[in-house]
Amino acid sequence: MKTEISLKTEFTPHKSSIKREIFQNSALLALIVMAVFGFFLSTILYYSEISKARTVINQSNHGVALFIDGYFTEIMNTITVLEENKDIRDAMALGAEARQRILEGYRSILKANKNITYIYSGYENGLMLINDYTPLEGFDPTTRPWYREAMEIKPETLIGLPYQEIKTNEWLVSTSRALRRSDGGYSGVVAIDCSMDQIVHLIAQHDQYGTEFSFVMDSSGKIVMHSDQSLLGKSLPEMKESLQEDTKGDFTYRIDKVEYFAHYSRISSTGWTVVTVVEKREIVRPIISQVLFLIGMTCAIAVFLGLVQSTLLSRRLSRPLVELGRKLKATIAGDELEVDEYVYPNNEIGIMAREIGQLAEKELNAKTRALHASEEIYKTILMASPDDITIAELSGRIIMVSEAANKMFGYEPGEGPGMSVMDFIVPEEHERAYANIVKMLEENYPGPNEYRAIRKDGSCFDIEINNSLIRDQQGTPVQMVLIARDITSRKKADQQIQELVQQLEIERDFAQRNSLTDSLTGLSNRRFFDNALRTEFSRHKRLGSQLSLIMLDVDHFKRYNDYYGHLAGDDCLLQIANALKAVIKRPPDIVARYGGEEFVVILPETDRQGTIVLAKRISESLLGLALPHAQSDTSEFVTISLGIASAEDHLLTDGAQLVALADKALYQAKKNGRNRYEVLPPST
């Protein structure tokens, strides 16, 4: 079954006439007049709606700001009172009865204020006081955002921290404050949580516009309240330049091709910024409707005036010229003129018609002779070309093919004409081939294009096709020329080169990974550790962030190797590495094999106390493995000694000094009996 492509109708030249031109010019003049009128009216409507929208947004924003200010002022006052309560401050040292009194006080506040979801306090020893909530096993309040950030800004109050509750996955807004002990230190954090959904629901109640909504940002520009919870904690760079130093103002911004009108105001009590926005298109939609109505009326009036004027003028001017064009067309096409055809008046137009007719007949005969000569030249080129040259109609039906085409596709001479160009391409690529032909016709795209071709015997091979168009005198495409070349050998060579490049890339990636990973334990190696330490120490010096280091060594490991053998020793190191991976889980923390039986842990954003807690966990995890060590003087099982050093405790100039301090602490741990940790300077 042959496939044909019907594309000729797409290139029919646009016809025009004097009558039509008169009508178009008349309508255009009317359109210009009406367009000027519509422009001024549209401008008035636009600025009226914009002014109304600004007023509505400002009023909504002011109401939300007042609500947020009152809402969190009450929360801040409550948490200040709680922080001053001596029992809450010293809860770690109190008994069960006193702690129960604290919980009763929390419950009373919850009953009095329906806006509060939870009241609780967490302490540095892991104690958590909260009503009607059972934390997950192993829950440590000191690791939660409301605890850490309150400790970082102590003694100030942390206001409006959005976070996701670890057990219920509910989004809450936390206000917290560090608890100062009687001795001046800090024992924990007291916090009040409010439901994010409740607050967002209250501030999102806008009735004037369907796309109107409000959200809240903190002083750093991060979103703390938004109906889209995926945006919590993020910044909107589109607004950064729009929010000025003023306490309130109007601005516009664009996100994902949607333009918004917005108004912002700052809340002095919390330092937050309330932003209320509405989509610009909702505001201008009524304007567009009215403008479209005006355009419709303008077009109708212009069409009517153009029709009237063209009818009156065409009777006087267009008829003689239309008949002249008909005569020229018949002469060029070789048609005989009808007996009762229109007779021109004996004037300039009649004389012009007779002279043009004679000239057209003479030129037509000359072009017919030239066409026959061109066909002979084309046939000679087709037969001599080593590539397949095919001439086809725009429908895809083949008119003429070269001898090389018959050899390439396995057909006998004379079989190609009458077939479709699609008969030589596998069916799976017909749609793409059709799209490329359309592209050639519309954009004059010459190729090249590659296809899977099919021979007469059914075998397939790869071809590359370049194409061009044959046009008539008016520039309208009438035929297409396709030049095909067999590229099977070239495709095979390209594939082999690509496979070789991919293999080289795989080997390169494998070599890079091995250069930074310890082959036995799978941990980072010494080289990776040195680079990472330089980076973290540089950040510590630049930002003043905390940085700690743990260096650990397997006690009596040489005896272990001598007694159990090196294979058992390697297995022991592998189990220790796995235990370290299980304990050290934070993404920024780095565990590396330092050399032999020594390991090292880099702990960014971790102070000395946090590092000691982690060192205890590492020791407990290793003891939990219960690896026998018959030759140890310290224990019947494999143990480790640990040295701890924190950059905040010393004046250091580079990471190597921090490593030296940790190594010195490790030496002290071994000297003091092993199976322990030591800190430089000693922990108090």
Which residues are designated catalytic? 597
Q: How far apart are CA 551 and CA 578, in angstroms?
A: 16
Q: Are 175 and 157 in contact (CB under 8 A)?
A: yes
Please report, as a single letter, which amino acid is at residue 527: R
Neighbour tally for 252: CB within 10 Å = 11
Give, in degrees to the nearest 5, the angle at Cα 427 between 426 and 430: 100
Long-range pairs, 422-428, Cβ under 8 A, ≥24: 422/2, 422/3, 422/5, 422/396, 423/2, 423/3, 424/453, 424/454, 425/451, 425/452, 425/453, 425/454, 426/451, 426/452, 426/453, 426/454, 426/460, 428/452
Strand partners, 599: 552, 593
Q: Is the peptide bond before 320 cis (omega within 30 degrees of 0)?
A: no
Q: Where are the beta strands (DSSP E) in 307-387?
A: none
Residue 351 buriedness (CB in 10 A; 0-12 / 13-18 / 19+): exposed
Give me the DSSP letters along 388-406. EEEEEETTSBEEEE-HHHH
Phi, psi dihedrals of residue 51, rounded to the nearest 5°: -60, -40
Query: How far is it, in rounded angstroms, from Cα 662 to Cα 653?
Result: 15
The pair of three-digit structure tokens given for residue 666, joined into one six-digit string? 């490790």
Name residue 420's amino acid.
S
Helices (H), 95-156: 96-112, 145-153
**Cα(278)–Cα(259) distance, rounded to whole angstroms?**
9
Q: What is the dihedral of CA 321, 325, 331, 336, to 10 degrees?
A: -80
Using the structure block, give the residue that is written with the tokens 């085409």.
Answer: 405
Q: Judge whether 425 and 437 are in contact, CB under 8 Å.
A: no
Among residues 682, 661, 550, the alpha carbon closest in space to that of 614 is found at 550
Residue with tokens 């996701």: 164
Axis crossing angle, helix 655-671 with helix 526-543, rounded to the nearest 10: 110
Q: Is the dihedral of CA 406, 410, 412, 415 positive or negative?
A: negative
For residues 31 and 302, the answer to whether their CB atoms sit within 8 Å is: yes
Q: Following DSSP, what letter does each residue of 483-515 receive, concatenated?
A: EEEE-HHHHHHHHHHHHHHHHHHHHHHHHHHHT
Token duo for residue 112: 């009095």
State the Rg of the chain over Cα. 43
Contact criterion met (CB below 8 Å) for 171 and 196: yes
| C-alpha triplet 92, 96, 97: angle, nearest 5° | 120
Q: Is 629 helix (H, G, I), strand (E, B) or coil?
A: coil
CA dihedral 299, 305, 309, 311 (to 10 degrees): 80
The answer to whether 242 and 262 have CB atoms below 8 angstroms apart is yes
CA–CA distance, 383 with 401 (Å, rounded to integer): 8
Element (DSSP H or E) covering residue 83: helix 18-83
